[in-house]
Structure 1
């Protein structure tokens, strides 16, 4: 198994967010950077997974991400938890949903080209009645509009956005999309904070 580190940015230990990057899309990528900034500005403790080398694929990522989510919840059981996963990071969705952990799922792997367990977990999000946000673009082959809308949770779908949530050939629109996504993350964080622990 490829080694990884968890970088912790201490904030309120009663509110803990776990940031799970994609493959080739680190926590410094704009979607994850600004999601973490929203949480940091709100005073949350941030746990960021950083791969020490190259993740070898979906099965390894599924195991690591599931472990990191479970470990975060069990080590701080009285805390409020939230997961922010980008692409491969959404492999943690089945574990998070079963544990009742809210999530921001950026470009989840929910199409026929994605993964069956994430697709099924997406369809079950509304059943778990846990706050969640699904973010995807119509130009992303791993996004499925029908699955997202059938989930019963918040969905932000952007016309023409690709797997990086950018609109090719239109940097101004890409910046607008980043602003939309960040605002949607802030709305979900506010919902999670308003709920009783």
Structure 2
């Protein structure tokens, strides 16, 4: 079984970002690292889950739920924001339950192993929780129609794969990374204003 640790980078205790990576896409990957660094630069405290090994779905579900619940319990008056990629999006139902704003990058919308993610994403518009769904049209786990109907803000990368890379077009991939970062920073501004 995989173990994990929580890496803490302290900033303003009233602004807390939780970074929940995927299985093979760590928090050092650009679509997680760049937005996290942008928020760290403006004072956010960043708490990042780091896995030792490859977690399975059940372990990740439990760990990510605990990280969110424990984080809110430890700082109930803080503004909390979730930045999750792929497997990290297993936390989406818990974030909605807790009323946490979230940026859900390449969410698991089409796999039978995570029906709760699809259901939670489909209901984002009625949840009242600020949310951003980001996916690529070349990613088999992305459902653009569901995202568009969700009521969340959607950023779709034309030709983007599960890493939001665009095969053969590094300039478009770089623009997508800029767009993702700007959208996450804007979501943080919205979460802060609530």
TM-score interval w.r.t. the shorter chain?
over 0.9
Alpha-carbon contact 1:114-1:142 (below 8 Å) kept: no
Tell me how far 1:63 sits from its aligned partner. Answer: 0.9
Q: Secondary structure at the match of 1:118?
A: helix
Residues in 2 aligned to 1:14 and 1:27: alpha-carbon distance in whole angstroms: 22
What is the match of residue 10 of structure 1? 10
Instruction: Give CA-to-partner distance per residue, 1:23-47, whole Å, 9 cap, x none.
Output: 0101000000011012101211100
Q: Secondary structure at the match of 2:140?
A: coil
Aligned residues: 194
Structure 2: unaligned runs, 5 residues or longer: none
What is the match of residue 30 of structure 1? 30
Q: Secondary structure at the match of 1:67?
A: helix
Alpha-carbon contact 1:2-1:54 (below 8 Å) kept: yes
Residues in 1 aligned to 2:54 and 2:158: alpha-carbon distance in whole angstroms: 31
Tell me how far 1:53 sits from its aligned partner. Answer: 2.4
Q: Secondary structure at the match of 1:157?
A: strand
What is the match of residue 140 of structure 2? 141
Q: Secondary structure at the match of 2:100?
A: coil
What is the match of residue 42 of structure 2? 42
Tell me how far 1:54 sits from its aligned partner. Answer: 2.4
Instruction: Give CA-to-partner distance per residue, 1:45-68, whole Å, 9 cap, x none.
Output: 10000012221x111111111111
Tell me how far 1:113 sits from its aligned partner. Answer: 5.4
TM-score calculated relative to the size of structure 1: 0.95
Alpha-carbon contact 1:131-1:192 (below 8 Å) kept: yes
Tell me how far 1:125 sits from its aligned partner. Answer: 1.2
The reply on whether 1:64 has 2:60 as its aligned counterpart is: no
Structure 1's consecutive aligned runs of 4 or more residues displaced over 4 angstroms after TM superposition are none
